[in-house]
Structure 1
Amino acid sequence: MDSKAVKAILFDLDNTLIETSRAGGVAIQKTSELLKTSLALDDDSVRSICDKFKQKLLHESFDPSAGRSIDQLRVSHWEESIQEVEESIQEVEESIQEVEESIQEVEESRCTPSLAAQCYYCWKNSRLEILSLSPEICHLLTDLRSRYKLLLLTNGETQTQREKVEAARCEEFFDAVVIGGEHAEQKPFVSIFTLCFNMLEVEARDCVMVGDSLDTDIQGGFNAGVRATVWISAAGGSVPEGSVKPDYTVPSVLELPHILQQLK
């Protein structure tokens, strides 16, 4: 390769190589079924519990030094979500006999930590079972690795992301795997990109960054000065006003070879 050729590709994981959003939806559905069989709640109440859990997950702040694991924290998300909906039901004054009976059944089946734990592990395990690299993506990575150095760079809490990497059997396709939660700073900070460049023994200008997040993947690649950024936008949406502009936008990572051909 000459000095201007691409030498390495950095890949995001979630919703770039694996369908995390779809897996999360399936996991929530399976957990909803568990809740229905465990508590006498209607569909709206079960949906409300799941929505509350997703909001807690979205705004989650995990501190490893606090003395509890990520699993314990997320069990508490489910416990709090169930209890919040139960309390809301109890506050509603209804004269309809069916609703009164439902509330009574909920009282008799108060949420216990064990039910919350069942919900969490149902959600977690169902999600991990679905997370996998498709045969097409496996073929793509195998082909690319014969010509480029490949590194997987994913943000997130260490245990959670390591479990995804293991479930999807990613490591065999990459020269290195970097989990943001294991370092002082995550994407889009330059420090974690510099770490990746050093691990691969390449310069920023030798690399392409591929990911689905404008705020972390594309902005991070731009901050670090990579050769090109590739935004994976399954919906084919336009870049929001004020956001960093990717060099290339494609609906699937499978389109990457066409872009690499242009960069030669």
Structure 2
Amino acid sequence: MDRRAAGAARAVLLDLDNTLVGTAHAGRAAIRKVNKLLKATLDLDDEAAGSVCDKFQEKLLLETPDPAAAIDDVRARHWEESIREVVACEKPALAAECYRLWKRSRLDLIGFTPEIRALLEELRGGYKLLLLTNGESQTQREKVAAARCEELFDAVVVGGEHAEQKPHPSIYTHCFSLLGVEAEDCVMVGDSLDTDIQGGFNAGVRATVWINNFGVSQTGSVKPDYTIPTVLDLPAILKGLD
């Protein structure tokens, strides 16, 4: 089927992180606060404190799900290991404090701007909306709660609560079922070519919209149907599809 020849879109699936909320910005701000704490507590210079923070972020990127461990414990341990690798000493209490500060500071900045909220309220007048986010369940649910946004969506789906996450078709099939729509009725919107856009193609959605909010060059084989610098430009794309 030619996806562009399909009828008008009825539903929009939206990613959360760096699509609707500035998770990357919030993360950088949280790291800066922990950096200051490390320098003040351990008398570290900029390079050493930065190294601890870099190691934590590397561990965060390489993190794999562990059903037997609470995510808060796992991430406090990331800080503990990162501190030990730089200063060669055990500081579990400080690691726990670093984690609490990082988590609290990041969540404090996870919120929908008035413009994003207005956009979603406008879209709800013509489309079913579903929030589809990859990630560990507790972490992503805490972000949704911090953003106070659940009422803006017909459904919220967190990848970590399912057997497969984006870009696997099964989680999209689940989303379509929740909304009572078919794949060709839906538009997938997100900032990740590898998960959001590839997932949309895998599931056979009506169209994919890539939010290139960092102005990066498009590489690889994944080609979105549309590219915009901010999700605020989405209405024009949807109007063209209709």
User: Residue 153 in 1 paired to residue 154 in 2?
Assistant: no
1:137 aligns to 2:116 (yes or no): yes
CA shift for structure 1 position 117: 0.3
Give the structure 2 partner of residue 92 of structure 1. none
**Aligned with residue 220 of structure 1, among 199, 207, 210:** 199
Report the residue type matching 1:82 in the other structure: I
- Specify the code of the residue in structure 2 equivalent to 1:192: I
Map of 1:256 onto structure 2: 234
**SS of the counterpart of 1:4?**
coil
Does residue 63 (structure 1) correspond to residue 66 (structure 2)? The answer is: yes
Q: 1:251 & 1:212 partners in 2: Cα distance?
A: 10
CA distance in 1, matches of 2:42, 2:216: 40
Q: Does 1:50 align with 2:53?
A: yes
For 1:27 and 1:184, how far apart are their aligned partners in 2?
A: 31
Choose the corresponding residue for 1:23, options 18, 23, 26.
26
2: distance between equivalents of 1:141 and 1:60?
32
1:184 aligned residue (163, 188, 201): 163
The 10-residue stretch of structure 1 (111-120 or 5-14) with the greater mean CA deviation from structure 2: 111-120
Q: Following superposition of structure 1 onto structure 2, how do residues 2-13 of structure 1 map, counting pairs within 5 Å?
A: 4-13=7-16
1:208 corresponds to? 187
Does the aligned pair in 2 maintain the 1:236–1:250 contact within 8 Å?
no
C-alpha distance in structure 1 between counterparts of 2:54 and 2:218, whole Å: 28
In 1, the alpha carbon distance for the partners of 2:129 and 2:12 equals: 5
The 5-angstrom pairing of residues 35-184 of structure 1 reads 35-64=38-67, 66=68, 68-87=69-88, 110-184=89-163
Q: In 2, distance between residues paired with 1:261 and 1:7?
A: 12
Deviation at 1:5, TM superposition (A): 1.2
Q: TM-score, length-normalised on structure 2? A: 0.96
Query: 3-state DSSP class of the match of 2:188?
Result: strand
Gaps of 5+ in 2: 1-5
Offset at 1:113? 1.1
The offset of 1:112, in angstroms, is 2.2
Q: How does 1:235-246 map to 2 (within 5 A)?
A: 235-240=214-219, 242-246=220-224
SS of the residue 2:215 aligns to: coil
Cα deviation, 1:136-170, whole Å, max 9, x if unaligned, reads 00000001011100000000000000000000112
C-alpha distance in structure 2 between counterparts of 1:50 and 1:42, whole Å: 13
The alpha carbon displacement at 1:33 in A equals: 1.0
Listed one character per residue, the Cα deviations across residues 170-197 of structure 1 (whole Å, up to 9, x for unaligned) are: 2011000000000000000000000000
Q: Distance in 2 between matches of 1:225 and 1:157?
A: 25
Q: How many Å separate the matches in 2 of 1:121 and 1:231?
A: 33
Q: Specify the code of the residue in structure 2 equivalent to 1:254.
A: L
What is the count of residue pairs matched by the alignment?
A: 237
Percent of aligned positions that are identical: 65
Aligned to 2:3: none
Contact 1:149 1:175 in 2 (8 A): yes
SS for the counterpart of 2:63 is coil
Quote the Cα distance in structure 2 between the aligned partners of 1:237 and 1:35: 32
Which residues of structure 1 form unaligned runs of 5+?
88-109
Q: Which has the larger radius of gyration?
A: 1
Is the 1:214–1:243 Cα contact (8 Å) retained in structure 2?
no
Runs of 4+ with >6 A deviation: none
C-alpha distance 32-237 of structure 1, shift in aligned 2 (>3 A)? closer
Partner of 1:103: none
